[in-house]
Amino acid sequence: MAPPDDDLRYLSPSFDPSSLTMAELRNIFMTHDISYPASAKKPQLVDLFTQELKPRSRKILAARDRVRRTSKGITNMPSSQEETVNSDVDDSGSMPPPPTPKQRKPRKSTRTSAESDAMAASAMVKTMNARNSSAKFTRHSDTETDQDHEPRQPSVRRKSRKSEAVPNVKVEQADEAPVRPSLKGGVFSDENPFQSGSSPLEPVEHRRKTAHSSSDKRKSSSGRRKTDSVALDSAEQPGSVISSTSKTFGIPVASLNRPSSEDDRDKTVEAGEDFTPEEQLELVRDRAVQGKRDILPPRRKPKPSRSFGTIPKSAPWVVVLALLGGYATWWRQEKLAVGYCGIGRSSHALSNVEFPRWANALQPVCEPCPQHAICFEDMETQCEDGFVPQSHPLSLGGLIPLPPTCEPDGERARRVKAVADRAVEELRQRKAEAECGVVISATGAVVSEEMTEEDLKKEVAKKRRRAMGDAEFEDLWKGSIGEIKGREEVSSSSDGSSLARISISCAVRRSARLTVARHRVSLSLITLTVASLLYIRSLIRTARNDTARVPPLVATTLDRLATQAALHARGDAVESWISVGQLRDDILRDEFSAKRRESLWKPVAAVVERNANVRASVREGRSGDVSRVWEWTGSLGMLDEPWSNGRVSGTGKRVNFGGAVDDNTPNGSTTPSAVDTPGQEDTIGHCLKYRPKYQRGFYEEEFLGESSLIVDVRSVIRELLEAEDLDGDCLITVNDPGPKSFYLKILNPHGRQEIRITGTYHLANLLQELFHAQRRGQNYVDLNPASLSENPVRRLQRLIQSSWWNNLIRSIDESGIGLAAKDFKPSEVDDGRARIYVPRGVPEQYAYYLKIAREQPTTNLDVQWLPEGEVTAEFIKSLNDKPGILALEMEEDPATKRLTGLPFIVPGGRFNELYNWDSYFCAISMIDTHPHVVKSILRHFIFEIKHYGKILNANRSYYLGRAQPPFLTDLALRVYTATKHEAGSKELLRHAVLAAMKEYHHYWMTPPRYDAVSGLTRYRPIGSGIGPETPASEFAHMLKPYAEKYSMTIDEIGQAYTYGAIKEPQLDVFYLHDRALRESGHDTTKRLEGICADLGTIDLNCLLYKYETDIAQTIRNEFDDNFPVSSAFCAPGQEADHVESSAVWDRASRRRKSLIDKYCWNEDKGSYFDYNTVTQTQTDFEYVTCLWPLWCGIANPHQAALLVQKTLPKFECLGGLSTSTLQSRGPIDAKNPPKQWDYPYGWAPHQILAWDGLKRYGYHEDAERLVYKWLYMITKVFVDFNGTVVEKYDVTQPKTPHHVNAEYGNQGLGFKYAPQEG
């Protein structure tokens, strides 16, 4: 077998198919009719080459070798390949030329002979020219070889005349080029245009063609001669001389330059088989050597060129169309680049070119994102679930970039309606069966005409088609249940039921029932009207009867009072007066209703007290009860002994406060006291409006005025604690087993006397008031009696607003840096210096603090720069041995031209810095009383985002990598609403929104916090090791195994791990989640322990949804939807001074809502849960943050209803909402110790957000109930435990909810005498 040439080199056995490109491999497969996958990669194509083509290579090459050259051109092969091979192949391997005639007439003998010869030669040469010319436009025939394109050597000429007329035929060797096999295994390919049965090539109009066929084809009636051979272009052989056709004989020479017409080309004489084209060429050349002139073919007349000065008439239209086409192309590209508003780039392609206003319409503008769509760049659109995209009618199949719309999925709606129809039909059937009868089940039980949702679902599921799966039916059922419930006949009556078989009696009863139901509104109104009239008539009659009873009751009352006075004058009665309450109950003893007695007695009392013979007063009875009394002062003519006979004695000086008896009056004798002493009733929440005189234990009605109690502070505190504080904690609580009765020694101009004070609340208030006086340096204090029995709610509110807030305010300037810089959290590496870190963007602050360090050396202040750029975990760890406070916002004092630190609130206790969400909840509580502090807190948050990239957990150096739950936008809107009338309020709102945008893009929406797979955001701060704010002993349960492993103490192993002396991957993972847990603000809880960094928590994503909606509404409502972003607030990658619109944030909020519904909502449980982005599963830990979607407005009404019905009861306890459920927390043991953010503890932030969320959705009663429970619990602890207010409560405990057994105890305890911060 001959080796393959270059065209078929891939058929060589040693050929490596991997050296071919994918295009070459596909071309080879097409050539050999081998199917291959359209998406196949190169390795697959190489394998296909090896498996399919290589085994056939020998067969293909053998078939190619059987192809022989012939002077007949390309002819059809016989149907049998075997016959073709036997007839064409011989020993020489070539086809011999046709036999030449032995005699040939000389050329001069007959002109026809010579003319015929010349015509034959010319036709052969033209055939060659045509072949060469067509090769430029069509691929080579499979039977051609490279030798056809090489210059041919002329054959040896003969000297005789005969050789001129009959040239010698040159015998050539057979070509060895491979031939592409046919589809059926034959020699030729089915794609060969010259083979019989294939499609003919399109004719080329400018070529001259000669039909090379048998004689019988020349007799065809068409009269047009065709060629099957491919002509060679004469331009490729510039030195050749071509014989002319027969038309050149007998015509003038001038006509040779005229191009031949179509008729001439059609009448061209075909070449015979006497001469081959090569022999004819040699003949012509021989004649030229002998000096004989041969007739040349006519040359084409050159076309006259168009003058440059002539412009075609269509030129302007061509230019206009070209310009329009170019503009259309540019406009389409720009439209795709601009895309949807806020997603594509802004339209600035021609921003450097000034256009008139009317020309702005020529530039493409952004399109708003369609409703129910999720939009991407290049105007790519994806519809939400349940919606399908619908192309714009003018988009022309996407040629014009116009946004589509998202239409409801009609097919799914149809199927949902079908399910709903089937369910309603099932209900109708049940109603018809149960009408006036009883439905008996298969088990014999009575079945109600009503069906539960689950039963109805089962019945409908039985009748579904077999091909429908459970998941598909479940999806359709969820979609149809709302439509089923919304149909009137389902909720009201039996419309559509079949009643053909009911009895007459049943029909009568049914008709009556339906008549009543049909007119139920009218009947109800009539009944209500009649009942109202009867009730009013009853009231009128009762009022008349009561009015008629007043005179007899007044007479009876006066008689009783006169009788009591007479008995007292005779000595038969101890008192001359009667208690009003006792008198009322005695006279109206037949009335058993307290309300009825009160209504009857009210007009009687009004008449009696206006009687001049009756005196009303407040006196102390024998049992020690102080009450209002009536005494008869009129004439006692019936008495035998005068008033003067009564004996008066006694000198008691002890008076009562809070309900004690006078025990110094012997035998009950009456003598007025010489000293008037102010008093106060002990009922909580009621302040006396009168100044009673203590005379023999009763009060005279007199206005209290400015009376006060002057006491010795130190001595009273000492005596009070000795008497009441029996447990030694310097507090008076319900736990103290003391007498709860104290005689307060007062000083006044009349000498020394005592007032008795009883009750835990009053005694604790006395201790607190005395302690505050002692702190002010007072030895004597003028006590206001009203402060001892002040309403607990008002007292608590007053203390918060006037005292506790002020004690928690800090500022970082020369007046407050000494206190603000103190860090009370345990830190083993703190060097004890007050240190402040200043960001590079505020050099004036750096200079200011350096000046303070020089002027106040006692502060021992160390001022440090923070580095520029992003803060890394390693840098934060490098500050562990020199922690410090971080600078906050300052302003210049206009009077002194010096910087002044803006105030802020700290949580108190060991937390002495500006915290994130702690400050938010403090701010919304003090915005009415301390608006300047709230505005300062907002400005501090903006400063932190601007210079630290986020609102920090707190402004300490070890918190540089950690944030907290973001509430900035809500705080900004609250401040703006409260201060809208003030100058600069809108500018402050603008800066707050800018800061929120930067924090959103720069921190919360960047990896590793943003999870690109789910689209949710996680708590995941940067850091390494153990932070200095938490000692290693706090993690003893985690570090103990490693301490034993390395033979170290807990503190030593903590230091070794933090600074890299040991490497423990498990500790790395633990502290990654621990930092995330602390960033969440819920440190600590079982819900987040060990997985927090992997969770897309419902609370964080709700807060970011609130960011998105607040920003969108603020831009739209306050800034006219045009909000430029300055470079100071641009996140990395954002263009400076770009303009934000509300559409971008609306779209972001809709996307986040859909993601929360997809990953966090659980329809079956009716609640929200966290989503684990690593395991891609929804957690099942029940936590109170599932109610935050109500606060931020992300829940729809259906979800809100399920939350209130199913979820809220799980968290509601005696004192409010618990953080988690008992079931989720699990039992408490060594492996699951109690945690402060788990059941049964409740925190104020969760309560406040739940209240606001419930009210937002209209559940006001539930909100008010929860408010009351929480405030009652706080107030009760405040009253019973010496004014205690703490950060968290055990909401399940009725007596001591402030006692917390968790890792950090409870903030707000540990004070003495009186709380300072709450």
CA distance 801 to 454: 55
Element (H, E) at 631: strand 626-632
Per the listing, tokens 């986040």 go with 1152
Closest CA to 660 of 727, 778, 759: 759
In order of 65, 156, 510, 513, the CA distances from 520 in angstroms are 104, 126, 15, 10
Q: Is 1287 a residue of the active site?
A: yes
1094, 1017 Cβ separation under 8 angstroms: no
To 5 degrees, how large is the angle CA 946–CA 948–CA 954?
A: 115
CA distance 1148 to 194: 65
Beta bridge partners of 908: 911
CA distance 736 to 241: 136
Report phi then psi at 1172, rounded to 5. -85, 110
Long-range contact pairs involving 256-263 (C-beta distance under 8 Å, separation at least 24): 256/296, 256/298, 256/299, 257/298, 257/299, 257/301, 258/298, 258/301, 259/298, 259/300, 259/301, 260/208, 260/298
Which amino acid makes up residue 474? Answer: E
CA distance 388 to 369: 15
Distance from first CA to last CA of the chain, Å, rounded?
105
CA distance 340 to 319: 33
CA distance 1070 to 1084: 13
Residues in the chain: 1318
Coil, strand or helix at 58 = helix
771, 1314 Cβ separation under 8 angstroms: yes
Check 631, 725, 814, 1287 and give the catalytic one.
1287
Contacts of 1085 (CB under 8 A, 6+ apart): 1077, 1183, 1219, 1220, 1235, 1237, 1238
**How far is CA 213 from its chain centroid?**
80
In order of 502, 587, 914, 1010, 1099, the CA distances from 1002 in angstroms are 74, 80, 21, 11, 20
Per the listing, tokens 């405990």 go with 1293
123, 210 Cβ separation under 8 angstroms: yes
Q: Is 1146 a residue of the active site?
A: no
Check 1083, 1170, 1182, 1280 and give the catalytic one.
1083
- The structure tokens listed for 504 are 């007459």
CA distance 810 to 1317: 13
Closest CA to 277 of 141, 135, 121, 114: 121
CA distance 892 to 504: 95
Q: 1161: alpha, beta or left, given left = phi > 0 and alpha = psi -120 to 50?
A: beta
- The structure tokens listed for 964 are 């907290």
Query: β-strand 446-447 against 626-632: which pairing, if any?
Result: unpaired
376, 357 Cβ separation under 8 angstroms: no
CA distance 876 to 959: 8
Long-range contact pairs involving 185-190 (C-beta distance under 8 Å, separation at least 24): 185/81, 186/63, 186/77, 186/81, 187/63, 187/66, 187/67, 187/77, 187/81, 187/84, 188/77, 188/142, 188/143, 189/31, 189/142
Per the listing, tokens 């970011």 go with 1104
Which amino acid makes up residue 142? Answer: D
Catalytic sites, residue numbers: 1083, 1287
